[in-house]
């Protein structure tokens, strides 16, 4: 068997692409597994990340496959001798159903209900849903070392489509269509044929654009949300209302102020402001407990503490409930004054050290 085509794909690069772009199939695109990459883009990492997680331990095998590793090829030949037709795994079988079902329903959802009469929609569904299901089955069937013709997937899908139109059971429809494709059409892929990178990129991009256009049509024409009165509102109208809502206006104002602050003070200034707002030292909270502003002097802090301590001393309250509340307030006031005293002491020591350093440098110079 001819295996003259070789590649030189890096496992390290593959893992980096898996980490930073795996849900979009970048690592599969790098390994020239275009069908695999397209499925990941369509399903957010193969069923919302499940396939992406599975790739964590499958990537070494995929890299050996892409590089036509002799040991891998030898093992592949043994599998091909033992199984003239490639076996179907539970993962691939699940992929058949999920991807085909997704594309089939996406075609239905993308048809504008307000523009296309029901009779015309029925004709379009009858003609194009089996096509979408066949494409989904063909994509999953051509991942890795398995391959099959699109014509085989189309034949099976259109043959079984009357059952879907009659029973409206999409899982049965996709399962039977994929079973037909597997039994009649799927074979081994002994060799990866070299293809132009730009051709692959164009085909991949056009596929994503077509897929995105179906979602865009659904979002614009048929997507709805239900309000508290159980009334359905078009998503496009809900989006317009959201952009004029008080929440969005306030959020936009905050983001604008944040951008202006970063532009003026930089990221370091924003970080300093964030740390200060978290009040790690407890100074802001302590000043709030003592009813003081941020620029309060030492005399004001002491005066406020004494006044509040006298007011909320437990001995000044006779009622048991009032006495308990006063005790809690008195403890909070004492704790706040203690925090401010500790901060004051630390600042005094820091100032002393700062003043001592120039004197020490002068002595060293002498």
Task: Give the Cα separation of 308 and 23 in Å (integer).
Answer: 59
CATH 3.50.50.60, applies to 281-365: no
pLDDT along the chain (366 residues), means of 10: 64 96 95 96 92 95 94 92 91 95 94 90 92 96 94 94 81 92 92 87 96 96 88 89 88 89 86 81 86 85 89 85 88 90 82 67 55
Q: Which of 62, 63, 68 is nearest to 4 (CA)?
A: 68
Task: Give the Cα separation of 235 and 86 in Å (integer).
Answer: 45
pLDDT (0 to 100) of residue 71: 93
Q: What is the DSSP letter of 6?
A: -
Task: Give the Cα separation of 180 and 162 in Å (integer).
Answer: 15
Q: Which of 215, 193, 21, 203 is nearest to 106 (CA)?
A: 215
Task: Give the Cα separation of 31 and 200 in Å (integer).
Answer: 12
Q: Is residue 66 within 8 Å of 131, Cβ to Cβ?
A: no
Task: Give the Cα separation of 167 and 90 in Å (integer).
Answer: 25
Q: Is the pTM of this model over 0.85?
A: no
pLDDT (0 to 100) of residue 217: 95
Q: Which of 111, 116, 105 is nearest to 222 (CA)?
A: 111
Task: Give the Cα separation of 224 and 247 in Å (integer).
Answer: 21
Q: Which H or E element spans position 232?
A: strand 232-234
Q: Is residue 153 within 8 Å of 185, Cβ to Cβ?
A: yes
In this structure, what token pair is assigned to residue 72?
């891998």
Domain residue ranges of the chain, discontinuous segments joined by +: 11-225, 281-365
The number of beta carbons lying within 10 Å of the beta carbon of residue 223 is 16
Backbone phi, psi, residue 187, to 5°: -135, 175
pLDDT (0 to 100) of residue 229: 81
pLDDT (0 to 100) of residue 190: 85
Task: Give the Cα separation of 32 and 10 in Å (integer).
Answer: 13
Q: Is residue 159 within 8 Å of 179, Cβ to Cβ?
A: no
Q: Which residues of 319-329 are buried (b: 16+ CB within 10 A; e: fewer)?
A: eeeeeeebeeb
């Amino acid at each position: 068997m001819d295996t003259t085509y070789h590649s030189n794909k890096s496992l390290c690069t593959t893992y980096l692409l898996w980490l930073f772009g795996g849900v979009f199939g970048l690592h599969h695109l790098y390994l020239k597994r275009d069908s695999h990459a397209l499925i990941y883009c369509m399903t957010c990492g193969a069923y919302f990340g499940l396939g992406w997680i599975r790739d964590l331990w499958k990537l070494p095998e995929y890299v050996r496959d892409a590089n036509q590793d002799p040991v891998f090829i030898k093992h592949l030949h043994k599998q091909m001798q033992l199984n003239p037709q490639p076996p179907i795994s539970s993962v691939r079988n699940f992929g058949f159903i999920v991807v085909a079902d997704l594309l089939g329903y996406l075609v239905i959802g993308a048809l504008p209900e307000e523009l296309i009469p029901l009779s015309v929609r029925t004709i379009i569904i009858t003609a194009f849903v089996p096509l979408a299901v066949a494409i989904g089955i063909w994509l999953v069937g051509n991942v890795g070392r398995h391959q099959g013709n699109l014509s085989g997937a189309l034949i099976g899908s259109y043959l079984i489509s009357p059952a879907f139109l009659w029973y409206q059971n999409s899982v049965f429809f996709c399962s039977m269509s994929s079973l037909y494709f597997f039994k009649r059409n799927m074979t081994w892929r002994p060799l990866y044929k070299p293809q132009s990178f730009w051709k692959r990129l164009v085909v991949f991009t056009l596929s994503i654009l077509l897929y995105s256009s179906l979602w865009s049509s659904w979002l614009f024409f048929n997507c709805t949300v239900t309000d508290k009165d159980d009334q359905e509102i078009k998503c496009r109208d809900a989006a317009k209302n959201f952009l004029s809502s008080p929440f969005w206006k306030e959020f936009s104002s905050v983001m604008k102020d944040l951008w202006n602050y970063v532009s003026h003070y930089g990221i370091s200034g924003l970080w300093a402001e964030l740390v200060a707002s978290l009040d790690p030292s407890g100074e802001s909270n302590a000043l709030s407990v003592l009813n003081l502003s941020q620029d309060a002097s030492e005399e004001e802090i002491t005066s406020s503490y004494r006044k509040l301590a006298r007011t909320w001393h437990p001995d000044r309250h006779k009622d048991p409930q009032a006495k308990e509340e006063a005790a809690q307030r008195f403890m909070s006031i004492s704790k706040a004054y203690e925090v401010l005293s500790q901060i004051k002491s630390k600042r005094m020591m820091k100032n002393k050290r700062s003043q001592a350093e120039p004197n020490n440098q002068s002595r060293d110079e002498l």
